[in-house]
Structure 1
Amino acid sequence: MSSRETKTDVILIGAGIMSATLGTLLKELVPEIKITVYENLPSAGEESSNEWNNAGTGHAALCELNYTNEKPDGSIDISKAIKINEQFQVSMQFWSYLVNNNLIKNPEDFITTLPHMSMVQGEDNVTFLKKRFKALSKNPLFKGMDFSDDPEKLLEWLPLIMQERSSDKPIAATKADAGTDVNFGALTRMLFDHLKTKNVDIKYKHSVDNIKRTSDGAWDLKVKNHESGSVEQHSANFVFIGAGGGSLHLLQKSGIPEGKQIGGFPVSGYFMVCNNPDVVAQHHAKVYGKAKVGAPPMSVPHLDTRYIDNEKSLLFGPFAGFSPKFLKSGSMFDLLNSIKPNNVLTMMAAGAKEMSLTKYLIQQVMLSKEQRMEELREFIPNAKTDDWDLVVAGQRVQVIKDTEAGGKGTLQFGTEVVSAADGSIAALLGASPGASSAVHVMLEVITRCFPEQLEEWEPKIKEMIPSYGVSLMENPKLLEEIHTTTAQALGLTKKELVSGL
């Protein structure tokens, strides 16, 4: 077993959408920067970023009902929806910059226009959806959204869902033609192909086993080369841990105080995939429903048209599962190994508080295929069991931490950056909206970790992202310009994208 030492400027751990985005941003800002990427698997985008392991929704809060909560007074809080929509606009601008500058090509291979719809059943839910629609449609970010509770209009919008449906329950939907389907696996691979041309050293089949601070303030990584079996020492002044579920273990090994009192809870997912092309052809939208009472936010059911390998497919889910692994390719001991003296009380508190989640997961794991089909039939009344297969989606690790609002051991459902006080190391934890907000989140990493260079870099950032530092909601003219330019660059339908503006 041999050992060798190398030094570079930046090390990115994990070849997913986050590392791909951060590497691309840094190379645009500092072309001469030296970057090395370490990925445990044989290729890029194989875990959370893979097209089969995420929803493929360009999360812009157009259809996801869990981003708009009903307040005790009956009004609808749209603040989270605004935030997520603005974050997705940042991603769209950056992708457009890359296409316009020939840094990536053929955007149709990773993004396409696809209506985003919310659909609910029952009088109370229809009332909620109508209020949500009124609240959102007043905002420039959501102009062009339509609402209907007319069965004939809904049959036009949702033929597969409305066929053979009994009329005993009120039903309503909203429709936003500005939605997108995004193949984040394809985009991740495109970005890493681009980074190779910029002399970024990408090491597949290399796992980072340990991270330690050196006396000069740099970070020393112990890296195992799975092909040769050798253990290598590599160091850098800045390290980004973008290893999906594997990030928590590495953050803990770094020893930074910001990484203490944080735990992780793994949740796996399953989707039903339609194998009948005639059924697939009858649906053309991403349709999100409402989570059942007591179910966690990640359980929101949706019937999604997806484009994978440029082929139209139809998926329904997610159904939750449980595995102690933090990655699909991880170890059965991942959860156990993440429990440390500094987070054990946080984890125990979460266990006591989240009994309903535990019960929900047990119920989900025990579902038979026919029981899953019954849930699908709430969307497609005449769905035939033989037309659908079950596939395993990705692992997600929900962050558990102590918060002021939730107290000790609070389960978080978002995407979270944890960084050292001096900005020399940062890790990404959590799940949705994840990949859709990758550009916004990586700009947050840059802001936190490179504050001294920010003033110098700002003109270039604004060239890549014209709305940088600006609220699009408060600047409708800029919003319309950005909708027009991103639609043109990414090959999206202008009429659909800016409908109503």
Structure 2
Amino acid sequence: MGNLREKADVILIGAGVMSATLGSLLKELAPEWNINVLEKLDRAGEESSNEWNNAGTGHSALCELNYTTEQPDGTIDITKAVKINEQFQLSRQFWAYLVNQHLIRDPQDFIRPLPHMSLVHGERNVEFLKNRFKALSNSPLFHGMEFSDDPEKLKEWVPLIMKGRTITEPMAATKIDSGTDVNFGELTRMLMDHLTDNGVQVHYKHLVKQMKRTNDNRWSVKVKNLVSGSVDYHTADFVFIGGGGGSLPLLQKTGIPESKHIGGFPVSGLFMVCNNPDVIAEHQAKVYGKAKVGAPPMSVPHLDTRYIDNKKTLLFGPFAGFSPKFLKTGSVFDLIKSVKPNNLLTMLAAGVKELSLTKYLIQQVLLSNEKRMEELREFIPEAKREDWDIVVAGQRVQVIKDTEAGGKGTLQFGTEVVTAADGSIAALLGASPGASTAVHVMLEVLEKCFPQHLEEWEPKIKEMIPSYGVTLAENPELFHTIHTNTAQTLGLTPNDLNVERPLDKETKASGNN
């Protein structure tokens, strides 16, 4: 028989960026609440949030082409791009609040200004990028973006990519200097340190084995201490499951109706990391290309300057792969164990629908190092094999569920919250844009799970996040003020202030328009 622990108000499962964000929000909104964190690894931010396991782009749709779709008439739908940018602005505001309140330390340890670029080849893609640029330039959120199809301008922007390149087809790029590189692993550790300093109990090396409702409508969580081998029981009024790829199996353990008919499709990945300081020094941007046909959105190729442990590095990838594990530290039986009678048909339907994705992943798994070098040379023509090492990226589990639009077994790309009808438990599933939109997602959790507190909490939420409840895209002056203030607080000036005032309607463009 295990030990019965004292009741907590909130249990957060997983010490990643999502739990750290929710815990930090709750500590400001309800400081008297008792919060416990359960994490199976020995420190915070080691799985999906780790700096080596995600792109750290600070996803704000400045460079990710898959967030803008071309309509049959050739116009570009920027709805998703605007939505994701708005969500990232919420994260910036909350981080700036924490810095201003001296609740987390030096912001440059987790966020830096870095240009975000999109780069395409071929007449058709250049036309798409030009139309995308024009559409985005109409939104205040994207002011400061430049377009060029002039090779000389591209040499100025991305010398490493243009060096030694034989230009046989049209090329074009967009560039915006207000992009960021975010070290989500370091941010997570900062937030967890803040929580620990403020009375939150963080239990590392604790594995959640089971969850069930108690007679008094709390949740009882059975936990194994991986050091001592003992089993404890933690109880709480509210449980948040933020276990990255491991959230789906934990959600299934709850038995709530909302956990039924949901499956998960794991996608693994590799990155190439440059080990030559001279090559690293030649590039200063995140440059995103277009995904290959049949590739999942998370496999969009990109050449990224990154700052990890305050050291500049250069990564290229990701190369997608398949592993049945739901976490890097997971089990090869994760996928098969996640198939239940209630989601079997959903999973089978997805298998039939996603044959092209399956084929793509098999091809990626079989790629030789030389084939990977060929893909890298599409970005860096003079890349040398000895300058690049391979690292394994994080596991991502894409959600599979039945939807009205897609029918049975539809593969979802994005981040989703599954909540019990009574709001007593919530789970975060899915992948990109993930960490970048953590504040938006956790506000959604608060709204769904604590509606009885929202009226009381709203003034404090607006103090932390001034644009809460407001659409920045429709309030350009407010956006400019907030963007400028957060840039100054987070140390993103002067580069980050290359954002034109919303009243300045003239858009910047280089090259032939």
Answer yes or no: same fold by TM over 0.5. yes
Residue of structure 1 in register with 2:443 after alignment: 443
Helix, strand or coil at the partner of 1:253: helix
Residue of structure 1 in register with 2:500 after alignment: 500
Please report how far the alpha carbon of residue 6 of structure 1 lies from its aligned counterpart in structure 2 after TM superposition: 2.4
Q: 1:49-64 maps to which residues of 2 (within 5 A)?
A: 49-64=49-64
Which consecutive residues of structure 2, in runs of 5 or more, have no partner in the other structure? 502-513
Please report how far the alpha carbon of residue 4 of structure 1 lies from its aligned counterpart in structure 2 after TM superposition: 3.2
Conserved 8 A contact 1:45-1:185 = yes
Please report how far the alpha carbon of residue 2 of structure 1 lies from its aligned counterpart in structure 2 after TM superposition: 4.6
Conserved 8 A contact 2:211-2:221 = yes
Counterparts of 1:295 and 1:232, CA distance in 2 = 43
Residue of structure 2 in register with 1:148 after alignment: 148
Conserved 8 A contact 1:179-1:497 = no
Residues 291-349 of structure 1 show CA distances to partners (whole Å, capped at 9, x for unaligned) of 11222211100000000000000000000111100000001100000000000000000
**TM-score, scaled to structure 2:** 0.97
Counterparts of 1:79 and 1:144, CA distance in 2 = 19
Residues 235-274 of structure 1 show CA distances to partners (whole Å, capped at 9, x for unaligned) of 1000000001111011111011011000000000100000
Counterparts of 2:271 and 2:461, CA distance in 1 = 38
Letter of the 1:281 counterpart: A
Helix, strand or coil at the partner of 1:483: helix
Letter of the 2:464 counterpart: M
Residue of structure 1 in register with 2:305 after alignment: 305
**TM-score, scaled to structure 1:** 0.99
Residue of structure 2 in register with 1:244 after alignment: 244
Residue of structure 2 in register with 1:294 after alignment: 294
Residue of structure 1 in register with 2:196 after alignment: 196
Please report how far the alpha carbon of residue 498 of structure 1 lies from its aligned counterpart in structure 2 after TM superposition: 4.0
Helix, strand or coil at the partner of 2:93: helix
Conserved 8 A contact 2:347-2:409 = yes
Conserved 8 A contact 1:484-1:494 = no
Helix, strand or coil at the partner of 1:394: coil
Answering whether residue 427 of structure 2 is matched by residue 461 of structure 1, we say no
Helix, strand or coil at the partner of 1:426: strand
Letter of the 1:301 counterpart: P
Letter of the 1:454 counterpart: L
Counterparts of 1:435 and 1:490, CA distance in 2 = 17
Residue of structure 2 in register with 1:228 after alignment: 228
Conserved 8 A contact 1:270-1:317 = yes
Counterparts of 1:312 and 1:15, CA distance in 2 = 26
Residue of structure 1 in register with 2:321 after alignment: 321
Answering whether residue 386 of structure 2 is matched by residue 396 of structure 1, we say no
Helix, strand or coil at the partner of 2:381: coil
Please report how far the alpha carbon of residue 169 of structure 1 lies from its aligned counterpart in structure 2 after TM superposition: 1.1
Q: 1:291-370 maps to which residues of 2 (within 5 A)?
A: 291-370=291-370
Conserved 8 A contact 2:487-2:496 = no
Counterparts of 2:392 and 2:363, CA distance in 1 = 17
Helix, strand or coil at the partner of 1:153: helix
Please report how far the alpha carbon of residue 495 of structure 1 lies from its aligned counterpart in structure 2 after TM superposition: 5.0
Letter of the 2:114 counterpart: L
Aligned residues: 501
Counterparts of 2:500 and 2:278, CA distance in 1 = 33
Residue of structure 1 in register with 2:511 after alignment: none
- The percentage of counterpart residues that share the same residue type is 75
Counterparts of 1:35 and 1:497, CA distance in 2 = 38
Answering whether residue 428 of structure 2 is matched by residue 423 of structure 1, we say no
Please report how far the alpha carbon of residue 494 of structure 1 lies from its aligned counterpart in structure 2 after TM superposition: 4.1
Letter of the 2:194 counterpart: H
Counterparts of 2:215 and 2:350, CA distance in 1 = 37
Structure 1 runs, 4 residues or longer, greater than 4 Å off: none
Conserved 8 A contact 1:480-1:498 = no
Q: 1:208-287 maps to which residues of 2 (within 5 A)?
A: 208-287=208-287
Answering whether residue 91 of structure 2 is matched by residue 84 of structure 1, we say no
Counterparts of 1:477 and 1:486, CA distance in 2 = 14
Please report how far the alpha carbon of residue 499 of structure 1 lies from its aligned counterpart in structure 2 after TM superposition: 2.5
Residue of structure 2 in register with 1:371 after alignment: 371
Please report how far the alpha carbon of residue 493 of structure 1 lies from its aligned counterpart in structure 2 after TM superposition: 1.3
RMSD between aligned residues: 0.8
Residues 179-233 of structure 1 show CA distances to partners (whole Å, capped at 9, x for unaligned) of 0000000000000000011100000000110000111111001000011100111
Counterparts of 1:209 and 1:497, CA distance in 2 = 48
Conserved 8 A contact 1:483-1:498 = no
Residues 447-484 of structure 1 show CA distances to partners (whole Å, capped at 9, x for unaligned) of 00000100000000000000000000111111011011
Counterparts of 2:337 and 2:16, CA distance in 1 = 23
Counterparts of 2:141 and 2:173, CA distance in 1 = 19
Residues 82-133 of structure 1 show CA distances to partners (whole Å, capped at 9, x for unaligned) of 0000000000000000000000010000000000000000110000000000
Answering whether residue 396 of structure 2 is matched by residue 383 of structure 1, we say no
Counterparts of 2:223 and 2:296, CA distance in 1 = 37
Residue of structure 2 in register with 1:98 after alignment: 98
Residues 14-55 of structure 1 show CA distances to partners (whole Å, capped at 9, x for unaligned) of 000000000000000011110000000000000000000000
Counterparts of 2:45 and 2:497, CA distance in 1 = 28
Counterparts of 1:71 and 1:59, CA distance in 2 = 23
Conserved 8 A contact 1:13-1:241 = yes
Letter of the 1:294 counterpart: G
Counterparts of 1:386 and 1:180, CA distance in 2 = 29
Conserved 8 A contact 2:2-2:233 = no
Moved more, 36-45 or 487-496: 487-496
Letter of the 1:484 counterpart: T
Letter of the 1:151 counterpart: P
Conserved 8 A contact 1:120-1:289 = yes
Conserved 8 A contact 1:119-1:288 = yes
Counterparts of 1:103 and 1:386, CA distance in 2 = 43
Helix, strand or coil at the partner of 1:378: helix
Answering whether residue 72 of structure 2 is matched by residue 68 of structure 1, we say no
